[in-house]
Structure formats: C-alpha cells, structure tokens
Structure 1
Amino acid sequence: MGNLPHFQLFIDGDWTEGSDGQVMTSENPATGQGWATFACASAGDVDRAIAAARRVLDDPEWRDMTQTARGKLLYRLADLVAENAARLGELETTDSGKLLAETSAQTGYVADYYRYFAGLADKVEGTVLPIDKPDMHVFTTREPIGVVAAIVPWNAQMFLTATKLGPALAAGCSVVLKASEIAPAPMLEFARLIEQAGFPPGVVSVITGDAENCAIPLTRHPDIDRIAFTGGPETARHVVRNSAENFAVTSLELGGKSPILVFDDSDLDGAANGLIAGNFGASGQSCVAGTRGLVHRTILEPLIERIEQKASAIRLGDPLHSGTHVGPLCTAAQVRKIEATLATARGQGAVIRFGGAPADRPGNYMTPTLVQCTSPETETLKVEMFGPVMSLLAFDTEEEAIALANSTPYGLGSGIFTQNLARAHRVSKRIRAGICWVNTYRAISPIAPFGGFNQSGYGREAGVEAILDYTRTKTTWISTAQEPMANPFVMR
C-alpha cells in the first residue's frame, strides 16, 4: 500500500493530513483492488476549516472584493477545469468506475457552469422600494449568506460540486466542501485548481471523512450558515436534524425513482434509446435514472424487442476504454443489493427478459438487466437500484399512466415519449417531479434549474435562482426628513 498515490486534505490553503492520522484506501471498482489512499478529516480538522471560512468573510481580500472580480476568479477556475478535464475524468473513473467517456466530457462541460455563475456574479442586484413614507429612502441589498457546507456524493461529483460551489462563490460566500469518503480522489485533486485560480486561503477547503468524525461535526457546527447536500434520504434526515443545531438554511437533492412514460404514438426507436439512456447510461448510477418505465400495453412487446436488440450491442468492460458502454458499479455492496432486489421481484412474478446477474469477471460488474413487471408493487419499481436495471410496466390509459408515475414518494426526474404535443403539455403538467424531459432524457444545462419534489428534496441548483439561494436580503431605511425623529413610542 505504501506505493499507492496519496491524496491530502486542503484546509485554509494548506495541504495536510488528518490531525488524528486516519487514512483510508480507495478501491478501483473495475479490479476490486486498492489503488490510492487519502487522508480523513477529524472533528478538529472540520473546526479548522470552518474557522478559516468564517475568518475569510471578514478579511478585506475576500469581503471587499468586487462582484466583478469574484466573477473573474470563477472564469479562471472554469478555464482550469476545462484544461484538466481529461486528468480529472481519469481520476474519477479509476476511483468510482464511471465511464471515462462520461467523466471527462462531463467535467469539460462543468466548466460552463462556473462560467455561467461567473457571469451572474455582478448581476445580483438590490431594489429601491416605493415606500409609503415620503420622508424615507428604503432599499434592499443582497449579502453573502455566510459559511456554506457543501456535501457531494461520489457519483457525478464534478457536476454536483459546480452547482453548489459556483453560486456560493459568485455570491461571496466561503465554502467547506466535503467529498464522499467513497471515491474522493477527483475532489481532492480539484482543490489544486481552486488554489491555482487564486482564491484567497480559507475561501474553499476540501475535506473528506466518515460520518462521525467529519459529516456530523460539519453539518451541526454553529458557524455553518448554509448546507447544500446531495445524497440519500436517510442521510438527509440526519442532516436536517443536525441543522436544528445551527438553523442553517438547507437544500437537499436526494435522487429518486423517476418514471418514463411511453405512449402508443411514440417513435419506438427514440423511446428505446431514451429508456436505455435513463437506465444503462452511467451504468445506472444516476440520481435521475428513469427506472420506472411505464409503457402503453399495445406497444410493450415491440418496444421490448427494440430494447433487447439495442442492448445486445452494449459493451460491458473497462471504464477507461473508449468503446465501453457500461462499466462497474462503485461498490460491491451495490451489486449485492441489486441481486437481492431482483430475487424479490422474481418472487413477485416479474420476468427477467435479459441480464439479471453479476458479470463473470473481476470487479463490481452487473450485467444490464430488463425486468418485465406485472404489478406496480414489484420491488424493482420501488427501490432505488443505482445500477443498470430497467423495469417496465404496462398501462392502458393516460390517466392510469399519470397515476402510476405519481405513485412514489420521490419526484426528481421524469420522461414522456409521445408525438402528440397537446399530450406532452397535458401530462408533463400533472407529473409531480422537478424535471420533465419530453422525447429525450438526462439533459442538463447551467441555465436550467435542477431539483426535485417530495422525498427527492427541496431547493434548486443551477439557473438564475441558484445564486440568490446563497444570499440573504438586507433592508436599509434612511430618513430624509429635515426634522429629527419625533415620538419614540410610536412605530413609524
């Protein structure tokens, strides 16, 4: 293990080991072998990072930096991300098993998120109020909300970091970024780009570690003003409970069980591609995975035939190879969970049309799987799989399809395939989800808000509104009266 690459924490502008000396080993999901080690933060390290973030908010170098100058730093960071996309993508692939073709391309595109928020940095404006008191001049300004705890999972981490870090820095906040203890290498390497971009020490610290020593002390710390969390619902419940200690403004993006509705007038090839993208893209390890395929009964068999034909050409293999379509899952535990869920579904009468077992090769590989369900209670339609498993269920009417789509506690993504424009508008309006794609799937943009309803969380990332969520409004009253204040016992 001594010859493995090692990644340190980045706290207050310094590269450091954890104060308690804890080190963890990261496994390459494609081989099941340890490939790197990383330092883990202790509660003391968390305190140090937050203290630096609090200090820098009062440091003239950051506090008095103009909004335009902050934007220029973000433009510089964007350029560095684009220049290092291949390197960061390779690290993410080695650490998490996600396809290099996706990680490198996504990292390159993430640069546009930083550019978008760089452009917004000097567009955050206040308002002069038409107050109902003629001797008062009243206006609002937006100030940085303060110290932000940004917590990202291992999947799509460059993207999920950009949606938090971009608006926070543009607004003038300071950030303690906690990477997942599963596959944190790209985030710890990304910290070098923050340093190179020229942000003052303490504006951004990047740490990782377990729940007890890192995540809990971070989210309940009294000096945290804002928590931006992406992860699972159970962890989110702990985050919300912890935020009761500091009353931090909190946003949650929690994944889900997104429906894809395929109507009988759909282009079947396009619908098949959409379902494959929504289930086998990113090896199914996506918070918006469209794992509840709802298909009009009259086209179910023809659609399955097309999916089977297309799936037969899927190449499962080394995620670093350009020709690979589906790589390994990040952890062996994911494979075991999927196996158990599929076994339950079989017992409920579901039919495995193809796949259904781990691949016969080293690493955490699961074969792309199609489950034909006979009931909306089938386990694969209810459990977030986080693997390449597609479940299809037939419906007969539009009303039934909408009811099935909404029969979930989640509400992040959704998809509709139809050639009927009126139906697209009608159905998308009734689906309870934060995102609805029509005749496409898994499209993102820095311009478009991203977030969910119900147990998929609350708050939005990306879009103009995102930067406002990292500010708070101050109202300033200035008396223009020529006479001094009159009766002090009467409210004006």
Structure 2
Amino acid sequence: MTEHVTTPASAIGRVPPIAEAARRDIPAFVRPGDRLMTIGGRRVPAVSGLTLANVDPATEEPLASIPRGGAEDIDRAVRAAQQAFTDASWAGIDPDERGRILFQIAAVIDEHADELAAIESHNMGMPLMMTRHMMAGVAQIYRHYAGWPTKLYGHTVPTVGNRLGYTRKEPLGVVGLIWGWNGPMPQLALKLAPALAAGNTTVLKPPEWASLTTLRLAELLESTDLPAGVVNVVTGTGAEAGEALIRHPGVAKIGFTGSTATGKHVHEVASADLKRLTLELGGKSPIVICADADLDAAAHGAAIGFLAGSGQACTAGTRLFVQDSIREEFIDRLVKVMDTFTVGDPFDPATRMGPLAARQHFERVTSYFEIAAQDGATIRAGGKRYGDRGFFVAPTLLTDVTPDMRVAKEEIFGPVGALMSFTDLDDAIVKANQTEYGLAASVWTKDLSTAHRLAAEIDAGTVWVNTHHEMTSGPMPFHGFKQSGIGGEGGFEAMDAYTRTKAVLIAL
C-alpha cells in the first residue's frame, strides 16, 4: 500500500514517497528515447540532429528527449504552413467541415485523455488528478470553438443607392503559437482551437520544459481529417526556435503566453514587421478578504489561489489582503488549510501539490525565502524545500509583508503567499491596484454592494467573487491589463484576434 503523508506547511520532511504502484503504467511516450517533431505531416528530427533532455521533476530521472529545433526547422515549418494555407485544403473548405474536424480533435483528446494527463504529470509535475481534470477542459475548448467556423459573419453597410457595402471575416494566414510550461495543453487549446476555427494554419513552439504532450498530440492528430501542414510542431529553446518564429516574415500573428519580460521582447521583435499579437503575461493577483466573508470558504479559496499547481499559475493569488479586524483569525484558519495540501508524488492520489517544474525554476523560487527574511517579512509557514529528491517546496505563507517588498511586487511563480492587511474598502482598492500587473483578482464578501464595487474598481482583466482560479472552457474572455498582456483569449473576442475584417464596396 502506498504511504500517504500530509505535509505540514512548516515542515521540511523527508523524501516525498513515490507512488510506485501508480507509476507502473508509464506511457511509452515519456520513456527515455528521442521524440520527433511534426512538419508538413511528417515526423522529423531537428536539422542539427541535436536534442534537449527532459527530467521528471518528482524523481529527477530522465524522460524522453526532444529535438532542439532552430531557425532552419522553423523556416521549414512556416513554409509547410504557408502551403497548407494557400492550397485551400483548410481555409477554403466548407466551414461545417472545419467544425467537424475540430470535433474530431476533441474526440481524440477525450479518447487519449488518461495518457496525455500522465505525460503532462511526468513532464511538469502537476498532480494527476489535476491534469486529468485539465484534459476534460481541453477537449471542451475544442468543442466550443468547433461551433465557430459557421458563425464568422460579415455584415452589410448602409451606402447610397447604387453601392453595395459589406464586410468579410478572413483568416490571417500562418499563426505562430508559443506558450508556458505550467499548463501546456489548456494554454495551447485556448490558442490553437480559435486559430483553426478561423481557418489559419499554425506553427507551434511548445515550452522547452514540457513539450512531450504537444508532440504526442501532433501524432494523435494524424488520425483525424486535419490536412497535413495545418499544425506543425517545432521544439527547442526560446532563444533559438522561439526567436526564429517571432522573427519569421511568413508569420502573420504570434499568440504568446509567458513572462512579462519575455512578452515585451516578443512585442518589440514582432512589431518590426507589424505582426498581430496576443500576449498573455504575468500576474501578481490580489485576494481581498473582507470582514464579513465566510472565513472558512475564504481560507480554502485563498489556499487554492496561491497553492494550486504549486503556485505556478499566472493568475495565482499571491497577494492576500485581509481586513484588519479578522487578520489573526484568518491567518490561523489559512495555515490549517495549508497543512492539508499534501506535498508528494503527482501520481499519489493523496497529493495536492507536486514539485516545481524544473531545477532552474526551483532554485529561483526558493531564493525568495532569504529575500523575504532580509526584507523583514516573517515566514509564518513553510519557507523550505521539502525532501532532498525532486523539486518540492513546502506551502509557504509570509506575513508582516509591506507593499514595497520584493515578495509583494515580483512574480515568484511558486507556492508562496504574501499576506498584508487593509482598513476599509478604499484602502483595499488602493493596495490591490498597487502593482504593475492586472491579470486577475478575487474578492471574498457576503455583501453584494461590496462585491460589485471591488469588481469594478480593481484593475484586473478577471475578477472572481467568492472563488478563485475558476476558468471556463472557451465562453468567458480572459484578458490581462497593464503589464499582464495585450489582447485576450476565450470568448468571441478570440475569434476577432485570429481573423481580419475586409471591407468590400461594389458600384452597382
């Protein structure tokens, strides 16, 4: 029987137990060996022959290697995508047919959901229960956008009597997609599904630390009626493959998810030839807990807000603002909830927090513990590595934090919450908005007026009330304000992001 260990937030503990029984059926795709990219419907290595190693972040054991693609590989992929676009095998087909193929993609993901979830958990460390939940949402995203090809309407325009004016919605051409390692399949789906629904062809550059699910998905797409060259995959580093993609003159648009610093670079480079852009970037989201809130629900919601996915989420609620009168009571409840976040092997059913995704990131996150102490914050819980194998970090709560501290300003991207207090709603609004980011926020209150006021005045693209991290599978838009991005994903706005509008005027 697998041993289940509940890890106190303040513990450093021994090595997290590995769920050997649950790991017996390791997908063949993640086992050591060289995987291949997909270009023009063919599986190919990088032109250079070079590969990049992958390791399981829970065990630090080797996984399959991925091709280290570069500029020449990107050029081959863009040319294949251009050919698929111009020969009308995709953009020119009946919109109903495009929708039918998107439904096929959803069905293939449903059929192989367990395999894809397991690959994702091995590759980036997220608990299997979470990756399985994500795969159900991924399939739903493709189903949602399968309904859009037949609904890309133009409209007629009022003109003088001997003129006919109307508009057409058209695909952009070749779209380059680059996204993060902290939830690869959902992030890809929110880009690829609307891009395909609009009739574009694509070149995908998966995250270097978590490319295996994308490579496997590309193989699975061969069983659908998707024409060759519509989806091409080039793996590699951001500095090589990613840079070549954003610079390629044959790419009409870049859809990017990643850090704000990298997003600014993408913006600068892509603007040289006026590429269209969607940038979904970083966040330092506030969680505002009012005195009238259901404190048990708020404690659970706040813990999920900054601990889900080991805190590796752009929407993570890492700045916790608690009304003065309930501060100590709330901290006590929150720490108790944090103690239930079992740290361990992603394949153990009891695990609620897996490892961080890579050693480089692990070292960055844990460096903030010393930074917090030097700045005068108190480590109320956690603040330590868990075990001595794998990239595990204990759930961490910092108190006595002030808004000028680095832990309150910088995106840590780990299971670290910085707790501060506020006096009244005016104070809460000022402090919540005291950040360069504007991606998301949550408000915890029983008062409807308070909820609506804070939702209106917090400067964030998404505001949740009495919940956090709750995303839809396509219908709701997801936009970042300020340094958190340009444009958005989800909703009908996504179709605007992957189409262009042409005006036609005819003299009758």
Classify the TM-score, shorter chain: over 0.9
Paired residue for 2:77? Answer: 49
1:208 equivalent in alignment to 2:235: yes
Deviation at 1:137, TM superposition (A): 0.8
Out of 17, 24, 28, which is 2:56 matched to?
A: 28
Paired residue for 2:464? Answer: 437
Paired residue for 2:35? Answer: 7
2:293 and 2:506 mapped to 1: Cα distance?
61
1:109 equivalent in alignment to 2:158: no
Deviation at 1:471, TM superposition (A): 0.8
1:97 equivalent in alignment to 2:125: yes
Paired residue for 2:504? Answer: 476
Task: Report which of the two structures shows the higher radius of gyration computed on alpha carbons.
Answer: 1
Question: Is the 8 Å Cα contact of residues 401 and 408 (structure 2) preserved in structure 1?
Answer: no
Paired residue for 1:333? Answer: 360
Mean Cα displacement is larger for which, 114-123 or 238-247? 238-247
Question: Is the 8 Å Cα contact of residues 208 and 238 (structure 2) preserved in structure 1?
Answer: no
1:403 counterpart SS class: helix
1:126 equivalent in alignment to 2:154: yes
1:139-162 deviations in whole A, cap 9, x for unaligned? Answer: 111110111001011111111111
Out of 377, 381, 384, which is 2:411 matched to?
A: 384
1:241 equivalent in alignment to 2:306: no
1:68 equivalent in alignment to 2:103: no
Question: Is the 8 Å Cα contact of residues 460 and 481 (structure 2) preserved in structure 1?
Answer: yes
Deviation at 1:109, TM superposition (A): 1.4
1:256 equivalent in alignment to 2:257: no
Paired residue for 2:9? Answer: none
Out of 110, 126, 139, which is 1:82 matched to?
A: 110
Deviation at 1:201, TM superposition (A): 0.8
1:334 and 1:264 mapped to 2: Cα distance?
36
1:306-325 deviations in whole A, cap 9, x for unaligned? Answer: 11112222211001111101
Where does 1:365-444 land on structure 2 (aligned, <5 Å)? 365-444=392-471
Out of 44, 53, 77, which is 1:16 matched to?
A: 44
Deviation at 1:207, TM superposition (A): 1.4
The number of residue pairs the alignment matches comes to: 478
Out of 297, 303, 306, which is 1:276 matched to?
A: 303
Paired residue for 1:487? Answer: none
Output the TM-score relative to the length of structure 1. Answer: 0.95
Q: Which has the higher contact order (CA 8 A, sep 6+)?
A: 2
Change (3 A) 1:392 1:245: same
1:158 counterpart SS class: helix
Deviation at 1:3, TM superposition (A): 7.3
Question: Is the 8 Å Cα contact of residues 220 and 244 (structure 1) preserved in structure 2?
Answer: no
Q: 1:32 is aligned with what amino acid?
A: E
Deviation at 1:237, TM superposition (A): 1.8
1:40 and 1:96 mapped to 2: Cα distance?
18
Question: Is the 8 Å Cα contact of residues 148 and 224 (structure 1) preserved in structure 2?
Answer: yes
1:28 and 1:328 mapped to 2: Cα distance?
10
1:240-268 deviations in whole A, cap 9, x for unaligned? Answer: 12213321100100021000000000000
Q: 2:150 is aligned with what amino acid?
A: D
Question: Is the 8 Å Cα contact of residues 256 and 456 (structure 1) preserved in structure 2?
Answer: yes
Paired residue for 1:135? Answer: 162
Paired residue for 1:59? Answer: 87
1:161 equivalent in alignment to 2:188: yes
1:212 and 1:362 mapped to 2: Cα distance?
29
Deviation at 1:297, TM superposition (A): 0.9
1:197-229 deviations in whole A, cap 9, x for unaligned? Answer: 221111110111113431111101111101100
Question: Is the 8 Å Cα contact of residues 221 and 246 (structure 1) preserved in structure 2?
Answer: no
2:288 counterpart SS class: strand
Question: Is the 8 Å Cα contact of residues 327 and 365 (structure 1) preserved in structure 2?
Answer: yes
Question: Is the 8 Å Cα contact of residues 401 and 418 (structure 2) preserved in structure 1?
Answer: no
Deviation at 1:114, TM superposition (A): 0.4
Question: Is the 8 Å Cα contact of residues 224 and 246 (structure 1) preserved in structure 2?
Answer: no
Paired residue for 1:197? Answer: 224
1:228 equivalent in alignment to 2:255: yes
Output the TM-score relative to the length of structure 2. Answer: 0.92
Give structure 2 stretches of 5+ with no counterpart: 1-29
User: Sequence identity of aligned pairs in percent?
Assistant: 37
Q: 1:208 is aligned with what amino acid?
A: T
2:141 counterpart SS class: helix
Q: 2:503 is aligned with what amino acid?
A: T
Paired residue for 2:492? Answer: 464
Mean Cα displacement is larger for which, 432-441 or 456-465? 456-465
Give structure 1 stretches of 5+ with no counterpart: 481-492
1:280 and 1:27 mapped to 2: Cα distance?
23
